[in-house]
């Protein structure tokens, strides 16, 4: 099993999109990429911790490749909006690929470069590609939030 970590706006919808993919073994939402130890949702929403709302995925590389996960990541959000997705605005909603290995870093950079070359977007892609850092699991009520409420998606 391997891990992948993505931030693409509010983590509820992002988790739901990845959770239903064959080869994804588990998902959890949380906070990463910041400078504050053990942040709460309230801390992260203050904009002072530097964390992004993110989804950490455990996947079976024999069933789905990291490149396929990257494709989903690019498809489910607008990577050209800085610190926002839809109605969610703030640094915690930025677009980030958090890589766990040099292979993931290379694949992420390659996929971003390829997407930029397609001309699909009129404005530059602002997605960050950063090393994975401490991942703090969000409060339980955030885990599988949409599924618990009988919803299949949010504004993504």
Q: Show the 3-state SS of 121-136.
A: CCCCCCCEEEECCCCE
CB of 148 within 8 A of CB of 78? Answer: no
Strands 84-85 and 24-32: unpaired
Alpha carbons 145 and 55: distance in angstroms, whole number: 12
- Per DSSP, the three-state class of 87 is coil
Q: How many CB atoms lie within 10 A of CB 130?
A: 17
Q: Write the DSSP symbol of residue 22.
A: T
- Residues that are catalytic: 10
Q: How many CB atoms lie within 10 A of CB 97?
A: 27
């Amino acid at each position: 099993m391997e891990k992948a970590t993505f931030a693409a706006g509010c983590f509820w919808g992002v988790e739901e999109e990845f959770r239903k993919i064959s080869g994804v073994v588990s998902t959890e939402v949380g906070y990463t990429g910041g400078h504050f130890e053990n942040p709460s949702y309230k801390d992260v929403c203050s904009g002072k911790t530097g964390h992004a709302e993110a989804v950490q995925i455990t996947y079976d590389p024999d069933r789905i490749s990291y490149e396929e996960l990257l494709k989903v990541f690019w498809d489910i959000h607008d990577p050209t909006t800085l610190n926002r997705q839809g109605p969610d605005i703030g640094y915690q909603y930025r677009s980030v690929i958090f890589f766990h290995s040099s292979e993931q870093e290379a694949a992420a950079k390659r996929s971003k470069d390829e997407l930029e070359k397609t001309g699909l977007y009129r404005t530059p892609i602002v997605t960050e590609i950063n090393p994975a850092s401490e991942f703090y699991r969000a409060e339980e009520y955030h885990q599988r939030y949409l599924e618990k409420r009988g919803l299949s998606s949010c504004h993504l």
